Amino acid sequence: MKLPVRFHLEFTNLTELSSEESVPVLVFTVHWSCSGVGVQWSNFDRAVTIDEDWSLLYSMMMMLIDCVLYGVIAWYIDNVFPGDYGLPQPAYFFLTVSIYRSCD
């Protein structure tokens, strides 16, 4: 499966937030709804027009990648800067073996 160029650009450009991905989802939903078909599993991976190669599937993939990325960032910040309660971990804590070992 060949991914479109826009997928690679958005994945590498971390300045674009996930709120930008909600616009294509809305456009795809409106397009399929106005055509009388609606968004279904059969057209989930199809582009809206012949001229573009971006589909609702790629937008959903980008939202999933954003969720994972923001979750990892939140986990890291919560461990390094725990606030008033908790012990702060060193900035390199995810590289230590003890973080991945289970407590026996």
Where does the pLDDT of residue 17 fall: very low under 50, low under 70, confident under 90, or very high at 90 and above?
low
* pLDDT per residue as tens digits for the range 87-96: 999 999 989 8
In a domain, 85, yes or no: yes
Q: Are 88 and 81 within 8 A, CB to CB?
A: yes
CA distance 62 to 40: 19
In a domain, 81, yes or no: yes
Where does the pLDDT of residue 48 fall: very low under 50, low under 70, confident under 90, or very high at 90 and above?
confident
Q: How many CA atoms lie within 13 A of 103 on its CB side?
A: 0
Where does the pLDDT of residue 8 fall: very low under 50, low under 70, confident under 90, or very high at 90 and above?
very low
DSSP letter at 96 equals S
Q: How many CA atoms lie within 13 A of 88 on its CB side?
A: 9
Number of domains the chain is built from: 1
Helix (H) or strand (E) holding 12: helix 5-12
Distance from first CA to last CA of the chain, Å, rounded? 44
In a domain, 100, yes or no: no
Give the range of the structural domain holding residue 9, as residue numbers without chain letter: 5-95
pTM of the model: 0.64
